[in-house]
Amino acid sequence: MRLENKVALITGGGSGIGRESCLLFAAEGASVVVADTNEETAAETTRMIRDNGGQATHVRADVSKAADCQAMVRHAEETFGKLDILFNNAGIMHSADSDAVHTEEKIWDLTMAINLKGVYLGCKYGVPALRRAGGGSIINTASFVAIVGAATPQLAYTASKGGVLAMTRELAVVHARENIRVNALCPGPLRTELLMSFLNTEEKKQRRLVHVPMGRFGEAKEMAYAALYLASDESSYVTGTEFMVDGGLTAAYVTPE
């Protein structure tokens, strides 16, 4: 198993990429801490793992709050004895997020608090735990929009993911000699509730898909497999990367006619 004897903490583990990653990591031998603001969905993910013979626990955590991030890391160490993998995956894409003129300040602040500050706080409390374990892997969920911008305006989301990418690079450099690797997972457009609720018309969906050479939305499980590589020792010489999993979008970004 690719994550045998590893302990992984995954935020946003109640749905989407987070849930699929929790299930996959557990199937590959990891003991998993499922963190989410929705305790019910986090508990459901935990039950799914245990029903398949895996080890898991869940904790309610709002990643925009320092106390919650500190508590989720503490929970991981107290439950499983250490922390080897931190997957800062939790994020939002607000339906009211638009361009600079139309995006309200409260939407900007909320998006930054969860998507960007949440990664910072996860690392603030996660890095000392990884040090105590002798090193490990941090995976931060960014996005293809951090590289190319979005055809459908979502300025706060795009800016927050750009920040995640920049923070990932710096953390990778800072902690490289401590056996702590830090990488950014950059998904393309996915068929998840998060994106589908934002692309809520067929016109919006097609405007996004026209850029994807594969001609389809990605699946959350495909992102989980990418995260698994970054979490495993197979990526032991990989740090500071933008791991693009986008159906070729950033290789051939085009403007629709």
pLDDT digits (tens, 9 = 90+) for 133-181: 999 999 999 999 999 988 788 999 999 999 999 999 999 999 999 999 9
Distances (CA, A) of 158 to 96, 106, 186: 13, 16, 12
pLDDT at 257: 46
**Hey, what CATH topology would domain 7-242 get?**
Rossmann fold (3.40.50)
Q: What is the pTM of this model?
A: 0.95
Per-position DSSP letters for 45-110, written without gaps between them: HHHHHHHTT-EEEEEE--TTSHHHHHHHHHHHHHHHS---EEEE------TT---TTTS-HHHHHH
Dump pLDDT digits (tens) for 17-67.
Answer: 999 999 999 999 999 999 999 999 999 999 999 999 999 999 999 999 999
**Cα–Cα distance, 133 to 114 (Å, whole number):** 27
pLDDT of residue 253: 63
Q: Identify the active-site residue in 120, 157, 229, 253.
A: 157
CA pair distance 219, 165, nearest whole angstrom? 22
Overall average pLDDT of the 213-227 stretch: 95
Cα 106 to its chain centre, rounded Å, is: 23
The angle at the Cα of 140, spanning 23 to 62, to the nearest 5 degrees, equals: 75
Rama region for 135: left / alpha / beta (φ>0; ψ in -120 to 50; rest): left
* Alpha helix stretches (DSSP H) within the chain: 16-27, 39-51, 66-80, 105-115, 117-132, 145-148, 155-175, 193-198, 202-209, 220-231
Q: How confident is the model over 216-231, as a mean pLDDT? A: 97
Residue type, position 148, single letter: V
pLDDT of residue 81: 98
Q: Where are the domains of the chain?
A: 7-242
Active site residue 157: yes
